[in-house]
Amino acid sequence: MSASTQEIRFCTAPDGARIAYATLGKGLPLVRAAHWMTHLEFDWQGPVWRPWLTELSRNNTLIRYDARGCGLSDWDVADVSFDAWIADLEAVVTAAGLARFALLGASQGASVAIAYAVKHPERISHLILYGGYARGRLKRGSPEQVEEAETELHLIRLGWGRENPAFRQAFTTGFIPGGTPEQLRCFNELQRVSTSPEHAARIVQAASKVDVSELLPGIAVPTLVLHSRGDARVPFGEGRILASAIPNARFVPLESSNHILLESEPAWPRFLEEIRGFLGAGKPAAGPSAEAFPELTAREKEVLELLARGLANDEIAARLGIRPKTARNQVSALFQKLGVSSRAQAIVKAREAGLGTGSERDA
């Protein structure tokens, strides 16, 4: 596949919904969790998202997909919910044949990425959260946020699908207040073609009720949080909440008033530099250092290697020819020696030392 073209495919979610996803570029996989208002074809052709897709696929294979009810994915779906969004991401990852990848959650996609990273820590090498939130507007405890959400729903139902872009312009101004006339025009049109008024309202309603705050301390993968100081769509404070609650997360404030960064503004190169540095700095070594974990026996290192590859206790037992109970005991002993309290923490520590870089088929 050429780095300058995208390939669009479809997969099926557990409830039968068809989800459209696209791959672009070459290199280590970077998955973008779906968010509101995307269209795989229109985004690739337009001046707002095209720079994002071009730059994020420059050194990586970028995999992105349209959420249910949006773009090329099925619009006529019974379930528009947070759980369904998680299942859609899982379906795309499976269809794309990904074992381990970096995960980008932007805006509404941040909460989906957070939940996935907690559920599948062994599959995530890096977690990037941009312009995101843990709490939807109805969960932030602010009467103003509740009123804003209700007003937005009314506007969506009233004017989303009209040819006259006056209603949609209100949303565009919140997303890219610094946009050029052409960018504003294209974003207005993206709203119209990406989904229907009914589905837009359902998506906004579901997103407003999301709350993954309790999951944040359980994230055990390297995390980078970026947020524009003047973001009118998702308050800057929501980004600070993410970074302060996620263990060892790095927080990068961006000098911008746009929710979607534009390639013409000074924050754009900083955004790209931070992401590229973050992804490059965490690449696994060619193999584990000979000095890694000197406190472990040879057998314990074998168990840790299989643990780092994502194998469950019974799979470790089968691979090593030992009883499942013995495998469980050895894994528990590893936790004590490594000074960790969970499987996810042990996996992260092992992978940082270069273990688990092969696939299960390599063993």
CATH number, residue 334: 1.10.10.10
pTM for the model stands at: 0.76
Q: How many domains does the chain have?
A: 2
pLDDT of residue 161: 62
Q: Looking at the structure, do residues 316 and 260 belong to the same domain, yes or no?
A: no
Q: Looking at the structure, do residues 114 and 164 belong to the same domain, yes or no?
A: yes
Confidence check: pLDDT of 321 > 80: no
Lowest mean pLDDT among 136-145, 153-162, 187-196, 237-246: 153-162
Confidence check: pLDDT of 290 > 60: no
Neighbours of 4 (CB within 10 A): 9
Residue 33 lies in a domain: yes
Mean predicted confidence (pLDDT) in 193-200: 89
Q: Looking at the structure, do residues 235 and 303 belong to the same domain, yes or no?
A: no
Confidence check: pLDDT of 58 > 60: yes
Mean predicted confidence (pLDDT) in 203-216: 95
Q: Looking at the structure, do residues 10 and 107 belong to the same domain, yes or no?
A: yes
pLDDT of residue 164: 67
Residue 49 lies in a domain: yes
The Cα angle at residue 280 between residues 279 and 283, in degrees rounded to 5: 90
pLDDT of residue 4: 63
Residue 290 lies in a domain: no
Confidence of residue 306 (pLDDT cuts 50, 70, 90): confident
Confidence of residue 192 (pLDDT cuts 50, 70, 90): confident
Residue ranges making up the domain that contains 306:
298-362
User: Which of 51-55, 187-191, 333-337 is most confident?
Assistant: 51-55
Nearest to 114 by CA among 211, 183, 187: 211
pLDDT of residue 357: 58
> What is the CB-side half-sphere exposure of residue 111 using CA atoms within 13 A?
26
**106 CB-near residues (< 8 Å, 6+ apart):** 32, 33, 35, 129, 130, 131, 132
Q: Looking at the structure, do residues 250 and 317 belong to the same domain, yes or no?
A: no
pLDDT in tens, 236-259: 999 999 999 999 999 999 999 999
CATH number, residue 193: 3.40.50.1820
Q: Rounded to an integer, what distance in angstroms lies between the CA atom of residue 115 and that of residue 122?
A: 13
Number of residues that this document lists for the chain:
363
Q: Looking at the structure, do residues 259 and 303 belong to the same domain, yes or no?
A: no
pLDDT of residue 286: 39
Q: Looking at the structure, do residues 227 and 317 belong to the same domain, yes or no?
A: no
Residue 292 lies in a domain: no
- Helices 298-308 and 324-338 pack at an angle, to 10 degrees, of 90
Q: List for the chain the helix, strand, coil content (%; round to 5).
A: 50, 15, 40
pLDDT of residue 114: 98
Single-letter amino acid code for the residue at 92: V
pLDDT of residue 291: 56
Higher model confidence: residue 341 or residue 249?
A: 249
Q: How far apart are the first and last CA of the chain?
A: 30
